[in-house]
Chain A
Amino acid sequence: MLRINALRMITMRLIVLRLAIVLLSVFVCTHTYAQDNTNQTDSSLALSNIAKQLPKAKLSKMPPLVKQLGAIKDPKSRLILESLLEGELYYERSGFAIVRAQMNDDKKYVLSYLLTDAQQQTVSKSKIKKIRTNNRLRGQIRDVLAKLDLTDPDSSVRIEALKQLIDKPNDSAIQTIKELLAEEKDEDVNHLMQVILQVQLLKTGDDQQKLAAVEILKTSLEPAVKNMLTQQLAVLPKKPTDQQQIVLKKAITDALDTIESKRQFYGVVENIFFGLSLGSVLLLAAIGLAITFGVMGVINMAHGEMIMLGAYTTYVVQLIWPHLIEYSLFIAIPLAFLVSGSVGIIIERCVIRFLKGRPLETLLATFGISLILQQLVRTVFSPLNRQVAAPEWMSGSLQINPVFSLTYNRLYIIIFSLMVFFALLTFFKKSSLGLHVRAVSQNREMARALSIKSDWVDAITFGLGSGIAGVAGVVLSQLTNVGPNLGQAYIIDSFLVVVFGGVGNLWGTLVAAMSLGSINKFLEPITGSVLANIIVLVGLVLFIQKRPKGLFPQKGRSAD
């Protein structure tokens, strides 16, 4: 009875956990954009007014029209300007309606009406006439479009526009920014505008202005700022005699140093982030192994294949419900847990329990099972790698500053693996089944004497460990290709994590996974990934010399 209760508790916790993830993701997914619907009628009236003038306007009359178009805050006016810029703006000879015309393969023109909602239609060239532009006009249109972007109600559009300007500034845009600066409320946008203006000053201003600009710019991490500063430093004479230039040179050098140290700091932070995300993958992969090894003293060489089964479960879920890709992970996580978990229980019942007390034979037998499972997957699916799609909400990244961003998938993986970890921890601490598992792992005979069915505890532990490996597989399917050899790559790594952390200690596994991941990521840029792997391995072999039982050994006295 107790056991069933505990199981129910696990499932309950898992459900709660999943709900939390769903809520989190929904929160992130729904970027709601406010639509500005006011004055729609006004602007469309003005638009149609201009549209009537466009076909007949001479080139010299165009600039004021373009300016008027730019003043209208309407997506349609933007579309007209873009078409005009690309030379795709035409009008119909009959009726003078303006259209966007694109030539198709049969030398016919596909017309899409810009003002009315009329259907697209295909006509020959004789029916339409192009609205002419010249270079000057195109330049003006670009400016107007840039200004449109800069005044867009959505701040992300403004930032995007500014970012383009920062690399290729032009005079008119600078002028616009100067005008807009005072009205800008958004802090990020405002800051970017400042940076652009200061960079411009740094380039064109006198020494006094340059000095002031450097003062402001030394906190900015934009690559353009750094480039401009280095450029200015190069322009200055090697040994300046002018007092002002000496001061300026020192200021620029200092600013560059500040920026460089900041960049280095963020580089380290980024490495830590990558290390933690690698560590959390290792944690997910290793924790199941840690449980089975801790409780049963058995190395499950088929553990990697449990991970692989989990990854293939994700693939199958996406195959069955192709329209539910966004939610596929939430379907796949419980399914993978069940699939891998039940395979684990079958293995335990059919093979491992007959090999009690013979860990080396167990190792061999489970290795045999891993070969069979790999071949099975090869036969059923194909030896080729399978592509698992990533849901929309997993892609993209959280931009903290110009040199540092957190990719969402890594971020979620860290959060998720920590959730799994703490769920397991509470399971072992609080539930009665967890108590039984701990009892069996500490002293099997004594636990049996206290009427704990150690056989069942073994089976369930093995199922639990394998199930978590399956969940790890779902996560891995988001990071790497899914293939029959997926698991093999992780079995040695996860075992090293278990050895490093100490057997039978979940906290040890956490610390070991995170530190191994970080060490790996810090070594990688210096030595390359292969050498980093080797160094970590050799380091671990040496570490085992000092502490044969890992970082956090189980306390107690025993001799075999």
Chain B
Amino acid sequence: MTSSISTNSSTKETSTGLMAKLSGLRNLHVVIGILLLATFYVSVCNLAFAEGSALHVSDYTVSLFGKYLCYALLALAVDLVWGYCGILSLGHGAFFTLGGYAMGMYLMRQIGDRGVYGNPDLPDFMVFLNWTEMPWYWAGSDSVLWMVAMVFIGPGILAYVFGMLAFRSRVSGVYLSIMTQAVTYALMLAFFRNEMGFGGNNGLTDFKEIMGFSLQSPSTKLGLFIITALVLAVAYVVCHYIVNSKMGRVVTAIRDAENRVRFVGYKPEDYKVWIYVVSAMIAGLAGALYVPQVGIINPGEFSPLNSIEMVIWVAVGGRNSLYGALIGAIVVSYAKTRFTAIMPEAWLFALGGLFVLVTLLLPKGIAGMLPGIMDKLKGKNAPEEEATASEPSATDNSATENKGSEVKS
């Protein structure tokens, strides 16, 4: 695949050719390598060096990094639908939160009789609401397998139903974006209700242990961090193969010219639903990994602002590449941590400014700049690239057409 694109010698294609090279298999190794190395480094520094040593990484930092990796996983999910299918979903927070609730329910059941009310069967909030028995949808929530299944099934079903409804009637563009936001908003309102049986306003919290390991102990935190990193690595590989598969090509083609794909004989809605469901499941997984590390899940996670922040991670990182999403999520989240610590009121200014500046000046994000920087390092002159950078869809369009014909022949 990579070689077929690089044979295109027209000047317009140089940037895509480079991009494709960068996001080729070699690049996959690089990203996974960096990710695993960083994880290894953090774990070693956390365990081997004593506190106070210059190389020591504190437990707090470990769980902070764990959080960032969850965000990166989430950004990957958003990038899959936005960057590769052109669906701007402002509702990925819903999938993330649903996955989180699936995990939260399991953790809630693990508390057992150590809750404030000491009821061995019912979680605290149900006792507080005078419920005598568990609602039917809590059945099975104390089993790990069921929990893992629900992490995928919950967001998957929501994505499937919504996707079927929306994509079949060809809702697209800003309409779709706002509909996703509206659904997320509705879910937030619903989960705020006590009658929903998910703890209402306070959500699920006060977790004690996961699969027998105490959530308070540093080693569990480190373990969760390592697991998150591994899951992220696996998800990255999966996404990489998805976007480079034939199916992924069709999805990219839908992004660039949906009607043409339809006229050629594909069913765009099927592909869209498919990629949307996969993305939702990854987001759910991110949520499930996130909850034990922060120790709480509440309906606030559904808020539209959260969903939109995810989009900005991808926009900053660059939405034409998978690794861009990771970079964006980590950079923006780190900036948020720093900003909210130093001057909390400035964070929204900074975030808002980021939205405006990135869309105006950096349509391809950080990852979009990388090839140019590499070229400069190699001493090559690439003026066309800056010129074409502002029109991603035009270049990609012709590129995908070429790719498509290659695939067909």
Contact = CB atoms under 8 A, between A and B. Distances in A.
A299 B90 CA distance: 13
B120 interface: no
B351 A368 contact: yes
B174 A537 contact: no
Given A534-B189, A559-B259, A548 B171 contact: yes
B44 interface: no
A354 B359 CA distance: 10
B359 A492 contact: no
A379 B349 CA distance: 11
A370 B165 contact: no
A103 interface: no
Q: Which range holds the interface residue count of chain B?
A: 35 or more
A299 B348 contact: no
Contacts of A488: 304
A372 interface: yes
B190 interface: yes
B189 A365 contact: no
A537 B162 CA distance: 13
A442 interface: no
Interface stretch (A139-147, A185-193, A262-270, A356-364): A356-364
Given A359-B174, A364-B355, A368-B352, A354 B186 contact: no
Nearest to B173: A359
Interface stretch (A64-72, A164-172, A335-343, A538-546): A538-546
Contact of A379 (B175, B177, B345, B354): B345
Contact of B345 (A368, A375, A499, A560): A375
A312 interface: no
B169 A548 contact: yes
A344 to B, nearest CB: 15
B182 A372 contact: no
Interface string B159-187: 00010011011110111011101110110
B308 A367 contact: yes
Interface in B293-315: 304, 308, 311-312, 315
Contact of B183 (A372, A379, A537): A537
A471 to B, nearest CB: 23
Given A299-B174, A299-B178, A360-B174, A365 B168 contact: no
B12 interface: no
A530 interface: yes
A355 B359 contact: yes
Contacts of B363: 358, 361
Interface string A394-431: 00000000000000000000000000000000000000
A371 interface: yes
Given A542-B165, A544-B171, A365 B186 contact: no
B246 interface: no
A492 B90 CA distance: 12
B351 A544 contact: no
A256 interface: no
Contact of A530 (B190, B258, B304, B353): B190
Contact of A560 (B168, B259, B355): B259
A88 to B, nearest CB: 52
Contacts of B169: 544-546, 548
Contact of B186 (A379, A499, A537): A537
A432 interface: no
Interface in B213-269: 258-259
A315 interface: no
A10 B259 CA distance: 42
B78 to A, nearest CB: 12
Contacts of B304: 488, 492
A382 to B, nearest CB: 11
A355 B356 CA distance: 10
Contacts of B182: 492, 495-496, 537, 540-541
A4 B35 CA distance: 61
A378 interface: yes
Contacts of B312: 364, 368
A441 interface: no
B352 A370 contact: yes
A466 interface: no
B360 interface: yes
B285 interface: no
B252 to A, nearest CB: 16
Interface in A504-520: none
A534 B352 contact: no
B193 interface: yes
Contacts of A369: 352, 355-356
B68 interface: no
A384 interface: no
B355 A533 contact: no
B111 interface: no
A351 interface: yes
Contacts of A533: 186, 189
A488 B88 CA distance: 20
A351 B360 contact: yes
A379 B348 CA distance: 11
Contacts of B351: 368, 371
Contact of A361 (B166, B178, B345, B359): B359
A546 B192 CA distance: 30
A376 B345 CA distance: 9
B93 to A, nearest CB: 14
A530 B193 CA distance: 8
A374 interface: yes
B179 A544 contact: yes
Given A365-B356, A367-B308, A541 B165 contact: yes
A278 to B, nearest CB: 17
B165 A363 contact: no
Interface in A470-519: 488, 492, 495-496, 499
A372 B165 contact: no
17 contacts: A360-B88, A365-B355, A367-B355, A368-B312, A368-B359, A370-B352, A371-B351, A371-B355, A492-B304, A496-B178, A530-B190, A530-B192, A534-B189, A537-B186, A541-B183, A544-B179, A545-B165
Interface of A: 293, 297, 299, 351, 354-355, 358-365, 367-372, 374-376, 378-379, 488, 492, 495-496, 499, 530-531, 533-534, 537-538, 540-542, 544-546, 548, 559-560
Given A530-B193, A559-B259, 6 more contacts: A358-B363, A360-B173, A367-B308, A371-B349, A531-B193, A533-B186
Which 6 interchain pairs have the tightest Cβ spacing?
A368-B355, A371-B352, A372-B352, A375-B348, A368-B352, A537-B186
